[in-house]
Amino acid sequence: MGPFGSAGSAPQGSAAAGSVPRGPAEPPHWGRQASLIQPREPAFWLYLVLLAVGGYFFYQEQALMSSLTTAYLLSWALVLVYAVPVALVVYRLDLFEAEPKILLAAAVIWGGIIATSLSAEANSAWLSVLGKVTAPDFTAQWGKAIVGPGVEETLKLMGVVILYLVARNEFDGPMDGFVYGAMVGLGFTVVEDVSYFINAVASAPGAVDQSGPVFDTFIIRVVGGGLYGHVLFTGLTGTGFAYLVTRRSASALKRVGAAACIVAGVAAHVVWNSPLMESILQTRDGTNPSALQWVEYGTAKGLPFLLLLVVLVLFATRSEENNFRAIVVGEPDPNVITEPEIRSLRSLLARRSARERAKRSHGPAGARLTGQLQAAQIEYALVRSRFDPVWDPEVERQRRRIRAIRAQLEALPPVEAVAVASSNPAGQNSPAQAIASSASPPTRPAQAVESTGSTEPAPAAPIAGWSPTHLVPPGGMPAWLAPDPAQPPIAVLPERLDLVLESSAGAWAHVRAVNGWHGWVDGRLLIPRR
């Protein structure tokens, strides 16, 4: 056990309290991230083979389109303006366990290179078959709605399935299926949009300006329908698939609901490709629809499915929260994470609200430290899930990091005190004086000192012949009144502060500053002076 550990039971309200609900019976191993490179998995080799086939067709198409240089470069610039923020949002929605970046890249590549290339060939073949068995008008109107969703959603979902077969441990719940599905869909829509932009230029009669058709198509496909495209479709199917493979013991009704999510993803694509609701795009004078009409058209067709996806993401996030609880539920130290802090981690909005509360009470530094505390607590769950013993050195090291951040946060003066101090700059103290004033022991720590048999003298004048032996490490460090982890820190020592090491008790170190202030710190963190 480290010097700041506590073997006692956590008080009520902490993450270790028995009232904290558990998640799955078997906590996930979040800290053990898998790689795409899995030579022993047949799915890995299937991925490479299909990448080679899709890459061949992809290269041919891109080489052909690049002949329209201006349109080609503009098209890629515009789709990246859309794609990069979407990728960041999808990545950040996975609040508790960020997926390995190599697998996310593999998902985007599958959607952008493999799925688009193979679906182009398959769509052409099936549309030809449909044209032979139905009337030409029916094929023209409904062909894309009948053929496209079945072919494209099958190929895109196949990418999620292959990633699951390559790295099963990365699929802990429905959120993982959403993330990988959305990334596959994003790759698909980026490459498909570029094709649409270039085709618009190529089909414009006698067009000299290559940028005009590109911008027009961008408004239609991205501004008007950017929220309702392939990210939505494959996000739905991926979520349903991940639930089926990670919740095998779920009730039959829930598994039917998960299968319905896969059907909903295909249905959303069918509705989007269908000629339904085209009356919204009609104008009285026969001119092209406005951007507002395209937005209304996209909203009418896609909003119900988007709302369904939002509900599923909220459900998936709650499932991830239960996984997080299952990992930290046995935490013996109440200073690592509390039940209110777990609730504040459950959404981006809740995390931002916690930082805003800290900013109102302790200023910008409070918001910054609260963000660091949230990140450290998420990292703690990853470390804790990777090492089974509660008191593994790596786990204890992460605990110390959390305690240090919490100590800095608790040592911040309230905003009101900062305002009073700023109105009287002449009364400002030097760093050493500030430490001395903050170290005056409150009632509770004073009792702890008595229990250890030591006394706490008042800060003294600078010591004659004082020669420092150590420095406070970068970032500062918390100090305690006594070597008792049950008590809160009494000060946060600024980095590079000179100290004298007077005595040690295990990993604890009793130090003294030049102004006579003294306290206990983690001696392993001190930097010897040279």
pLDDT digits (tens, 9 = 90+) for 224-249: 777 888 999 999 999 999 999 988 88
Decide which of 392 and 345 is more confident. 345
**CA–CA separation, 525 vs 508, rounded Å?**
10
Q: What is the pLDDT of residue 416?
A: 56
* Strands laid side by side in the 527-528 sheet: 518-522, 508-512, 498-505, 470-471, 527-528
Mean pLDDT for the chain overall: 81
Decide which of 248 and 428 is more confident. 248
* 107 Cα distance to chain centroid: 17
Least confident of 24-33, 192-201, 353-362: 24-33
* 290 Cα distance to chain centroid: 36
- With a cut of 90, say whether residue 177 has pLDDT above it: yes
Decide which of 11 and 46 is more confident. 46
Q: Give the phi and the psi of residue 335 in degrees, each rounded to 5.
A: -85, 0
Residue 112 contacts residue 80 (beta carbons within 8 Å): no
Strands (E), 38-160: none
Q: What is the pLDDT of residue 52?
A: 97
Bridge partners of residue 511, in order along the sequence? 501, 519
Q: What is the pLDDT of residue 208?
A: 65
Cα dihedral angle (426, 429, 431, 433), rounded to 10 degrees? 170
453-478: average pLDDT: 65
CA-to-CA dists, residue 336 to 27, 132, 294, 393, angstroms: 19, 67, 51, 15
pTM, entire model: 0.70
- With a cut of 50, say whether residue 39 has pLDDT above it: yes
**CA–CA separation, 240 vs 217, rounded Å?**
32
**CA–CA separation, 524 vs 521, rounded Å?**
9
Q: Give the architecture-level CATH label for domain 429-528.
A: Roll (2.30)
Least confident of 86-95, 277-286, 408-417: 408-417
Of the pLDDT bands very low, low, confident and very high (cuts 50, 70, 90), residue 291 is: confident
**CA–CA separation, 144 vs 500, rounded Å?**
78
**Amino acid residing at 70:** T
pLDDT tens figures, 97-140: 888 999 999 999 999 999 999 999 899 999 999 988 988 889 88
- With a cut of 60, say whether residue 458 has pLDDT above it: no
Q: What is the pLDDT of residue 526?
A: 93
- With a cut of 60, say whether residue 259 has pLDDT above it: yes
**CA-based angle 124:129:132, to the nearest 5?**
125
Q: List Cβ<8 Å contacts ≥24 apart for 119-128.
A: 119/148, 119/151, 119/152, 119/155, 120/57, 120/61, 121/57, 122/151, 122/155, 123/147, 123/148, 123/151, 123/152, 126/150, 126/151
Decide which of 358 and 11 is more confident. 358
Bridge partners of residue 500, in order along the sequence? 512
Report which of 471, 466, 476, 477 is spatially closest to residue 514, judged by C-alpha positions. Answer: 466
Sign of CA dihedral 258, 102, 48, 90: positive
